[in-house]
Structure 1
Amino acid sequence: MSDTMLAGRLDLRSGAFAVEEIPVPRPGPGQVRVKVEASGICLSDVHLIDGSLKPVHTQADKITLGHETAGVVDALGPGVPPEWTVGRRVLLQAGERCGTCRSCERFTAPCLRLLTRGVDYDGGWAEYALAGHHTLVALPDDLPFEQAAIIPDAVSTPWSAITLTGRARPARPAGVWGAGGLGAHAVQLLRLVGAAPVIAVDPLEAARRRALDFGADLALDPADPGLRARILAATDGHGLDLALDTAGVPAVREQAVGCLAADGRLVLVGLGPGPLTIGNSIAFSVRHQQILGHYGSEPGHVDELVTLARLGRLDLGRSISGTLPLAEAAAGVERLRKKEGDPVRLVLTP
């Protein structure tokens, strides 16, 4: 085994991204080293590289990107529980508790300084990655690495937004703005929990067709002047019980709020730096509507999704739009930025 490896590194001072040779990391106490087999490219990675998204909790000058990672345990640090053995197939949670804030010290509440893999510490765009043993999730042999890798974030974030933050209910209408990496899975997951009808909104015709393939009952163009009327007609005049913004775009949020039912909820799933405004705040208040922020998922959500995929309730095979070698990470980022081929998820395979 070589002492060095390839890694996709972002210079946080200059904003430059490059695949470089760096030392292979050694696991410390409670850590394992994972030989990476697959790591997803997310729109958040694009935003980190273009500078519109900034890491909050790191003092490092450079960071290895990649928060969607699956592979095989390669080496063990001291103090790792015996269930994690060399050769075991695993995926890595997309983040972890900081371990130092007041909530972590008392274990009484969610972490106040949640750390994200590939943002606040080195991630999976590398030949090897380190992970605390508590962030490992065992993989069944029949779940391909490429599909498993995207579960943390691309699938678990909308799953958490739907089941926890958004409180989706069976036979209640739900809408998804954006049918890309997060939104396409949101459509499939809303159908899984019984939301009905499920309505997808996306400006790209190919994305709308994909949403229908993934289980949407209706797919609409946001530029359609009759969009709100069509949503009202599809929901017996009530509007949406739940709307998900997976695009992180201010115009999307304003349009989605206008399609909510009384007591309806808009969940902000996609990250975006734009301002959040409400055109008619009186109507918003009178109708008891809500806008809810959302970020990531809880550890248990990843375990749930692995089980659903293992038992055939969730098909992730259609989600892998292409694979690229790690050395071509920059090309993959550019493909996603330009939406070449309208990808759901592109995956790096070191």
Structure 2
Amino acid sequence: MTATMLAGRLDVAKGAFAVEEVPVPAPGPGEVLIKVEAAGVCLSDVHLIEGMLKPLYLKGDKVTLGHEVAGTVHTLGEGVTGTAVGDRVLLQAGETRDGVVHTRGVDYDGGWAEYALATATTLVPIPDELPFEQACFIPDAVSTPWAAITATGAVRPAEAVGVWGVGGLGAHGVQLLRAIGAFPIVAVDPLPAARERALAFGADAALDPADPGFAGLLREATGGRPLSVAFDFAGVAPVREQAMATLGEHGRLVLVGLTNKPLTVTNGTLVSYLRQQIRGHYGSEGQDVVDLVNLVRGGRLEFSRSVSGTFPLAEAARAVEALEHKEGDPIRLVLKP
């Protein structure tokens, strides 16, 4: 192994991103050095580069991006047990330090690199049949909608559910809702390609939110039932108002997409009368990732359709540009060191 490696580094103070040559880190006690095989490119990475998101706990001005990471164990630090060199693993997207959640690739160096450090407890073994390109984005791109559905939204089988925004998170949301038995699943997106994708991923209907007959088409899709749960994966204020209006008694609006715009409730009296709820959601728990890997191992889930393209690590800036401009309407772009 050479003494240096390539890494996609963000200078937070200057807002400058570049792939640079940096020293290969050495694992300390309780740490593991991972040879990165694949790393996901997430919209939050784009937002970090643009300055829309800022690290809260980063020490210094520079960080290696990448919170969706999979690879093999290369070197064990002192005292590490339960894993061995060569093991195939993915990394949890963050960890708790002194009672505070720190995010990989945001608050400390992530996996847009040839090698990455990880606390041993953040390793999740993956089966041989799960490709690294699919494993890397299970933390976040899959685990976030999974937790939104199973925990925050508490969706039950046969509940009518709406999904607004069928991008990287929303597409997996449709797939996972199908897996747990929601019915019907109505996807809502202004892009024809996204609506087609939703149907391919298991939606029972896919609607254009700007269609003048939207309300009638929704009633037709649900057999006249109001929605029990509506998920906003887009993070767009008008989406939230439209989604809220589709809910019935005890309906839940789950806010997954992030926005700093105000949330408007047009008819507060009706929300109270129907005892509806607005629930915020962010991220997932470590067990969610473990559960999803087990579902893949058991043949219940697979994510081959989610890999929209791969880029060499050296072309990370190009991958960011492709995602920013939604070239090819990607679900997940993946970096390969």
TM band (smaller chain): over 0.9
Quote the residue 1:215 is aligned against: 202
Cα distance change on mapping 1:10 and 1:233 into 2, 3 Å: same
Conserved in 1, the CA contact under 8 Å of 2:68 and 2:137? Answer: yes
Q: What is the deviation of 1:281?
A: 1.6
Quote the residue 2:172 is aligned against: 185
Runs of 4+ in 1 over 6 A off after TM superposition: none
Quote the residue 1:321 is aligned against: 308
Give the distance between the partners of 2:287 and 2:153, measured in 1 at CA.
17
Judge which range, 220-229 or 143-152, deviates more: 220-229
Q: What is the deviation of 1:287?
A: 1.3
Q: What is the deviation of 1:232?
A: 2.8
Quote the residue 1:41 is aligned against: 41
- Residues 118-267 of structure 1: matches in 2 within 5 Å? 118-267=105-254
Tell me the number of residue pairs that the alignment of Structure 1 and Structure 2 aligns. 337
RMSD: 1.1
TM-score (norm. length: structure 2):
0.98
Paired residue type of 2:28: G
SS in 1 for 2:169: helix
Give the distance between the partners of 1:232 and 1:29, measured in 2 at CA.
58
Conserved in 2, the CA contact under 8 Å of 1:248 and 1:271? Answer: yes
SS in 1 for 2:308: strand
Paired residue type of 2:130: L
Paired residue type of 1:6: L
Give the distance between the partners of 1:291 and 1:69, measured in 2 at CA.
32
Quote the residue 2:90 is aligned against: 91
Quote the residue 2:18 is aligned against: 18
Matched, 1:337 2:336: no
Give the distance between the partners of 2:215 and 2:110, measured in 1 at CA.
41
Conserved in 1, the CA contact under 8 Å of 2:90 and 2:124? Answer: yes
Conserved in 2, the CA contact under 8 Å of 1:228 and 1:258? Answer: no
Paired residue type of 2:227: L
SS in 1 for 2:238: helix
- Residues 78-117 of structure 1: matches in 2 within 5 Å? 78-81=78-81, 83-98=82-97, 100-101=98-99, 113-117=100-104
Quote the residue 1:77 is aligned against: 77
Conserved in 2, the CA contact under 8 Å of 1:10 and 1:62? Answer: yes
Structure 2 spans left out of the alignment, 5+ residues: none
TM-score (norm. length: structure 1):
0.94
Conserved in 2, the CA contact under 8 Å of 1:71 and 1:145? Answer: yes
Matched, 1:32 2:19: no
Q: What is the deviation of 1:237?
A: 3.1
Q: Deviations over 1:164-189 (max 9, x none)?
A: 11001101111111111100000000
Give the distance between the partners of 1:58 and 1:279, measured in 2 at CA.
40
Paired residue type of 1:226: G
SS in 1 for 2:319: helix
Of 285, 292, 311, 1:298 maps to 285
Paired residue type of 1:92: L
Conserved in 1, the CA contact under 8 Å of 2:164 and 2:239? Answer: yes
Conserved in 1, the CA contact under 8 Å of 2:63 and 2:105? Answer: yes
Paired residue type of 2:84: T
Quote the residue 1:109 is aligned against: none
